[in-house]
Amino acid sequence: MAGTKITILYGSETGTAHDIAEQIWKRSKRTGLKSSVDAMDEYNIRNLINEQMMIFVVSTAGQGDTPLNMKQFWKCLLRKSLPVDFLSNLKFSVLGLGDSSFEKFNFAAKKLNKRLIQLGATELVPIGLADDQHDLGIDAVFSPWLEDVFNNVCHEFNVPKGSILSEHEIIERFRVDIIRDQKPDNSITDIYLYEAEKNKTLITSTIIENIRTTASDHFQDVRLIKFKVPEVDYSPGDIVYIKAKNSDEQVDKFFDVLNKNGVDVHPDMLIQVSEKEIKLPTVLEPKLTLKQIVQQYWDLNNKPKRSTLHTLSLISENELEKEKLIEFITAAGQEDLFNYINRPRRNIIEVLNDFPHTTNKLNVKLLFEIMTPVKPRAFSIASSSKQTKNEVHLLVAVVRYKTKLVDTRYGLCSNWLATLKSNEKAVFWIQKGTFKFDYEKPMILVGPGTGIAPFRSLLLDKAAKDGDLSSCLVFFGCRNEKKDYHCEDDFRLLTAKYGLKLFCAFSRDQPDKIYVQHLIRQQKELCWSFLQNSGNIYLAGNCKNMPSAVREEFVEVAKVCGKMNHEQAENYIRTLEKSGRYQSETW
């Protein structure tokens, strides 16, 4: 086993791939193998030709794009000068993290897998295509894929299968020390502001306004939030990534559950986290109180994954609790796991409360192994820097819903954003979105609900640039004209002053529900004339039913107005999609 090493690389917009890569690292560590974890663009690609064993974890961004921290690595792999046997010594496996509701499901992972084979590399096991839409999420594919990978790894390296570490030994990523003789640095109140000072790509903003765009008696709370950002540079279609903080109520619940079950922790404990075997996140560099870490770094709304339950099973000494935790992580226990965690969306606080004897065995170090960092949440920018200089606007639907559990479920980021008040600060970063708008061609824009956000940005920008929106056709949908017509004043102005063609589907304002696809049917001749004049279709909104219903309607438009049969019309729309004339951004 001397010299045996696995290189684990990840590419992700949100950090999920990084979490999975760390789980793979722990598995290799438990197996007795050396391994390293890096983002693809932080890896020294000159070492690639000497690698013998690599594992890749890749998310897909947008419409089949590679994630931001994979782009340079991917560009290097695509060099035409590379010989077909460039990676002939490499054995590899790829895990894709995707969502099957998107047309280009796991496209980035599939492209990487194909390119590695083209360069002479050999697959250890077939590519794993994890699907966030599965009842068990990505674990449904990840867990069996990981077993297959390490069965083959052990065979390749002639390593006995199974764990060489003690069953109860926890593999720690960081060194965690409690500082007892110092006071916290009161200058660090927001750990993401600290991170922003260290990272030039992060933007510190100040809240200007936080306006509710829905009626006070409407079931859904939607906010138009305006941020002041000096010298900000962005284009229509760009996306903001932002990390939220847990509510004071959730933080109090977390400490209450730990304390009542005998865990010796308190909010004012001063913690120093340092690098042990995994690269330390910038936000954890300073000495922080445990409350700062709990409130700003760990996601208290997170649904625990199998890896968390596995760690809890390792420390549990209560026979009944240990037996149940082990059952949850077995193949036979997956239906019970789904019914316990996923269906009611039970969070980590509630799980710890349900296993009091196991929770009693926790300490600060172990909390770092079972807690999940807050993931950034993406929002389309809803403003134009030409219209509102030095500002970024977001249109945010506040997520609240009920399950069989007593407490209402809350979306972490949207609820935090809804609480922000004027002059409060928030840290985010901006990335290019998936839309590639062509201002020179007619545009058909379909954006029900908060899907209108990127099109508000586009239309305000184009109005400022061209002074004419007559080549833009918008289909907007909501429930009621008087309840949830987001940014109504903006769209009435754009229609009256700049010639925007706007059609609104207020689905509940009449006995029969009317959706955006019904308005497309009504305006089929107008839509067809736009398409015949080289127009492009852009669609944004919820991925559930709307995108497929709208697509079917455009197929009907081609059939009726273009006098095509179904196959011809389907091929016509498919050609628009492949050529970038029909673009979608859904969530």
Task: Give, rounded to a whole angstrom, the gap between the first and last alpha carbons of the chain.
Answer: 45
Q: Tell whether residue 120 is among the known ligand binding residues.
A: no
Q: Tell whether residue 345 is among the known ligand binding residues.
A: yes
Q: Tell whether residue 62 is among the known ligand binding residues.
A: yes
| Pair of tokens at residue 557 | 């438009």
Q: Tell whether residue 412 is among the known ligand binding residues.
A: yes
Q: Tell whether residue 450 is among the known ligand binding residues.
A: yes
Report the C-alpha gap between 56 and 38 in whole angstroms. Answer: 10
Q: Tell whether residue 14 is among the known ligand binding residues.
A: yes
Q: Tell whether residue 456 is among the known ligand binding residues.
A: no
Q: Tell whether residue 413 is among the known ligand binding residues.
A: yes
Q: Tell whether residue 61 is among the known ligand binding residues.
A: yes
H/E stretch holding 9: strand 5-11
Q: Tell whether residue 162 is among the known ligand binding residues.
A: no
Q: Tell whether residue 60 is among the known ligand binding residues.
A: yes
Q: Tell whether residue 378 is among the known ligand binding residues.
A: yes
| Pair of tokens at residue 327 | 């059952």
DSSP string for 371-433: --BPPPEEEEB---TTTSTTEEEEEEEPPEE--SSSSPEE-HHHHHHHH--TT-EEEEEEE--
Report the C-alpha gap between 90 and 7 in whole angstroms. Answer: 11
User: Is the separation of the CB atoms in 251 and 295 below 8 Å?
Assistant: yes
72 in helix, strand or coil?
helix
User: Is the separation of the CB atoms in 446 and 540 below 8 Å?
Assistant: yes
Chain Cα centroid distance, residue 554: 29
Q: Tell whether residue 16 is among the known ligand binding residues.
A: yes
Q: Tell whether residue 101 is among the known ligand binding residues.
A: no
Q: Tell whether residue 517 is among the known ligand binding residues.
A: yes
Q: Tell whether residue 13 is among the known ligand binding residues.
A: yes
Q: Tell whether residue 418 is among the known ligand binding residues.
A: no
| Pair of tokens at residue 397 | 């639907």
* Partners of 401 in beta bridges: 409
Q: Tell whether residue 377 is among the known ligand binding residues.
A: yes
Q: Tell whether residue 15 is among the known ligand binding residues.
A: yes
Q: DSSP state, 358?
A: H
For 320, half-sphere exposure in the C-beta direction (CA atoms, 13 angstrom radius) is 4
Instruction: Count other Cβ atoms within 10 Å, centred on residue 277.
Output: 16
H/E stretch holding 286: none
User: Is the separation of the CB atoms in 9 and 164 below 8 Å?
Assistant: no
Sorted by sequence, the CB contacts under 8 Å of residue 85 that are 6+ apart come out as 119, 120
Q: Tell whether residue 384 is among the known ligand binding residues.
A: no
Q: Tell whether residue 581 is among the known ligand binding residues.
A: no
Q: Which residues make up each annotated binding site?
A: 12-17, 59-62, 132, 345, 377-380, 411-414, 450, 507-508, 513-517, 587
Which segments are annotated as binding site for FMN? 12-17, 59-62, 132
Which residue ranges are tagged as binding site for NADP(+)? 450, 507-508, 513-517
Q: Give binding residues for FAD as ranges.
A: 345, 377-380, 411-414, 587
